[in-house]
């Protein structure tokens, strides 16, 4: 059906112009044709460049490596990406690590020590469109330390009254070589000097001296505890017989003379144990010049 529009008559220079009627079908056909051209033109536009990077984040131990892969979409000329390492927006390689690039792949190698800023940004930027890029966050971490462990030798000892025993401790994975600290306990409670003393010791060895009379409590233990990790320790059990060794008849009216095995310790200017000598003595009074004067079973010393 034709729709006749109002006729418009226009005369110019003696010529009369008349508008002819236009059908509704003709109008719709023209409109559909124009919209189709617009759709076709839009569909033919090339897609935008986009960059993705995997993994998006990673923790890398010092001196270790991590591979990253970049994908560039709509990269018609297959130009790929360029790579870069930054910290706080500033190029940081090689201090923050180095890259070994191979097209769309890059292997990141962490430095030998954790940098002052442990966070590193890896960026892949499209060569076709420098405004398009993707980034991954790298955290440089230290290598986990091996667990510390302590061992002690001997693990048990029987020490007669007023006698002594040397103990040694070994600390595994003690990278700072701090060694151990020593302690005497009975039933978990500190007991020195009643249960004996440790007059000579280092961070690796300790000399235990038994008391002159048997302690009341039992379960005497010497413990070496790591100075680097106080949760790690080792212990040895010490048994003290109730009687001290005796010698045969000696001078002085046939009275039995009591002999004591004495160990003398020598220390350097820093208090470190240098050497130890042993000998027997019938002296009633035992003097330990490093710490204190001892009494024997016969009575007090003058």
Over its length of 302 residues, how does the chain's per-residue pLDDT go in tens digits?
Answer: 555 555 555 566 665 555 555 666 666 656 655 555 444 334 334 579 999 999 999 999 999 999 999 999 998 889 999 999 999 999 999 999 999 999 999 999 999 999 999 999 999 999 999 999 999 999 999 988 889 999 999 999 999 999 999 999 999 999 889 999 999 999 889 999 999 999 989 999 999 999 998 887 678 999 999 999 999 999 999 999 876 555 443 333 333 334 444 455 555 655 555 555 554 444 334 444 333 333 333 343 43
Q: Is 155 helix (H, G, I), strand (E, B) or coil?
A: coil
- Count Cβ atoms below 10 Å from residue 40 Cβ, excluding itself: 9
Residue 144: per-residue pLDDT: 85
Counting beta carbons within 10 angstroms of the beta carbon of residue 136, is it exposed (0 to 12), middle (13 to 18) or buried (19 or more)? buried
Q: Which two tokens stand for residue 14?
A: 């003696």
Vertex 17: Cα angle to 16 and 19 (nearest 5): 145
Q: Is 35 helix (H, G, I), strand (E, B) or coil?
A: helix
Distance in angstroms (rounded) separating the CA atoms of residues 163 and 182: 18
Phi/psi for 41 (5° steps) reads -65, -40
Helix (H) or strand (E) run with residue 33 in it: helix 24-43
Residue 14: per-residue pLDDT: 62
Phi/psi for 24 (5° steps) reads -65, -35
- Count Cβ atoms below 10 Å from residue 68 Cβ, excluding itself: 21
Which residue do the tokens 């009494």 mark? 295
The pairing of beta strand 50-54 with beta strand 9-12: unpaired
Residue 285: per-residue pLDDT: 42
Q: Is there a contact between 205 and 198 (Cβ–Cβ < 8 Å)?
A: no
Phi/psi for 207 (5° steps) reads -105, 115
Distance in angstroms (rounded) separating the CA atoms of residues 261 and 160: 10
Distance in angstroms (rounded) separating the CA atoms of residues 13 and 181: 122
The domains located in the chain, with CATH, are: 2-43 (no CATH), 50-141 (2.60.40.10), 149-295 (2.60.40.10)
Residue 23: per-residue pLDDT: 64
Distance in angstroms (rounded) separating the CA atoms of residues 276 and 279: 10
Residue 21: per-residue pLDDT: 59
- Please count the residues of the chain: 302
Residue 256: per-residue pLDDT: 35
Identify whether 173 is preceded by a cis peptide bond (ω within 30 of 0): no
- Count Cβ atoms below 10 Å from residue 282 Cβ, excluding itself: 12
Q: Is 251 helix (H, G, I), strand (E, B) or coil?
A: coil
Distance in angstroms (rounded) separating the CA atoms of residues 208 and 160: 11
């Amino acid at each position: 059906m034709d729709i006749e529009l109002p006729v418009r008559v226009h005369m110019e220079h003696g010529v009369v112009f008349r508008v002819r009627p236009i059908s509704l079908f003709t109008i719709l056909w023209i409109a559909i044709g124009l919209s189709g051209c617009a759709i076709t033109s839009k569909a033919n536009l090339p897609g935008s460049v986009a960059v993705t990077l995997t993994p998006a984040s990673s923790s890398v131990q010092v001196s270790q490596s991590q591979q990253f892969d970049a994908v560039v979409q709509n990269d018609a000329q297959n130009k790929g990406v360029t790579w870069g390492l930054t910290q706080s927006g500033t190029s940081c390689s090689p201090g923050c690590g180095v890259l070994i690039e191979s097209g769309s792949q890059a292997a990141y190698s962490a430095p030998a020590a954790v940098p002052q800023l442990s966070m590193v940004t890896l960026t892949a930027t499209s060569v076709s469109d420098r405004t398009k890029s993707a980034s991954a966050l790298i955290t440089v971490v230290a290598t986990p330390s091996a667990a510390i462990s302590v061992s002690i030798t001997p693990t048990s000892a029987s020490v007669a009254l007023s006698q002594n025993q040397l103990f040694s401790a070994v600390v595994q994975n003690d990278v700072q070589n701090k060694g151990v600290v020593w302690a005497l306990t009975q039933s978990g409670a500190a007991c020195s000097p009643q249960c004996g003393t440790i007059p000579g010791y280092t961070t690796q060895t300790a000399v235990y001296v038994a008391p002159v009379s048997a302690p009341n409590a039992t379960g005497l233990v010497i413990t070496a505890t790591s100075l680097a990790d106080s949760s790690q320790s080792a212990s040895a059990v010490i048994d003290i017989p109730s009687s001290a060794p005796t010698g045969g008849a000696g001078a002085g009216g046939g009275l039995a003379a009591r002999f004591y095995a004495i160990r003398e310790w020598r220390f350097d200017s820093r208090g470190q144990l240098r050497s130890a000598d042993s000998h027997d003595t019938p002296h009633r009074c035992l003097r330990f010049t490093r710490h204190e004067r001892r009494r024997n079973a016969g009575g007090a010393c003058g």
